[in-house]
Amino acid sequence: MTQPALDLVIAALETIREKSDRAPRASRTLLARLQVARAAAARPLALRTAHATPDDAAESAVPSGDPGAPNKAELLAVVRDRVRACTKCAHLACSRTQTVFGVGNPDADLMFVGEAPGVDEDQQGEPFVGRAGQLLTRILKAMNFAREDVYIANILKCRPDTSPGTFGNRPPTPMEMQTCRPYLVEQIEIIQPTVLVALGAVAVEGLLGTRATMRELRGRWHTYDGISLMITYHPAYLLRNQAPSEKRKVWEDMLQVLERLERPISERQRNYFL
């Protein structure tokens, strides 16, 4: 598809989405794919063919059916740019240091979803970098994963604001989660992980719209849009409750994740306590 044609399609879809009572049959992810394709089409031909072999040139002359062949990182970058500019929650846009989009491998089989950035995440622009994040990193290491192997995101992309003089974090409101949730939906649609892990009850509510105790939810498989979903305690809970029995519950949940991913599990891992 040529650049002028892509421009017309994108402009029409965006106009319909913004002004019509009937939503177009095009997801934000599709729009992102079109935008990436438009950027690829806009690159000078010399740049696109500078390193091409004769065989490459012959192939490029034939329509591939995949304009610009956008990869997942490019698609996520388009969504990230929209998140950075987002002011839908005006009070959060005013109070945040920066947005916290997500981090990790765009092609990950395993994706973790938390609730919202804390003060450390707000400062650094990366999810799970505070004490809870350090514990999550240790859990990943015990699973034989590095942070770079998985993808980590939150329901909210801004830190929930707090009253002046107060300390700690507050949970997101239902309205904040509803407003920000489409960004997470796009991330999941692009990454298409094999397994999702929801960390804590707020993440569960944001993903499934379900309110229940962790005792009722964790330790068994659920489904999100056809993707296997494991629910477990948020690492912050384990920092507050150091009981070995609670830590073991989280690890048992992670063993189920490893089994679903068909990863080898050693005897040491089966006997491991956090």
Segment 77-135, tens digit of pLDDT: 999 999 999 999 999 999 999 999 999 999 999 999 999 999 999 999 999 999 999 99
Residue 151, CB half-sphere, CA atoms under 13 Å: how many?
Answer: 25
Coil, strand, or helix at residue 266? Answer: coil
pLDDT at 272: 81
pLDDT at 63: 39
Per-residue pLDDT averaged across 8-28, rounded? 57
Nearest to 215 by CA among 239, 245, 177: 245
For residues 49 and 222, which has the higher predicted lDDT (pLDDT)? 222
pLDDT at 28: 56
Band (53; pLDDT cuts 50, 70, 90): very low
pLDDT at 44: 44
> Which DSSP helix (H) or strand (E) runs through 33?
helix 28-42
pTM: 0.77
pLDDT at 60 over 50: no
pLDDT at 35: 56
Residues 139-180 have pLDDT tens digits of 999 999 999 999 999 999 999 988 776 677 899 999 999 999
Mean pLDDT of the chain: 83
Region class of 225: left (phi > 0), else alpha (psi between -120 and 50), else beta: left
Band (48; pLDDT cuts 50, 70, 90): very low
Supply the DSSP string of 233-267, one letter for each residue. Answer: --HHHHHH---HHHHHHHHHHHHHHHHHTT----H
Using CA atoms, how far apart are residues 201 and 189, in angstroms rounded to an integer?
22
Per-residue pLDDT averaged across 196-204, rounded? 97
| DSSP code for 232 | E
Q: Quote the longest CA-to-CA distance of the chain.
A: 66
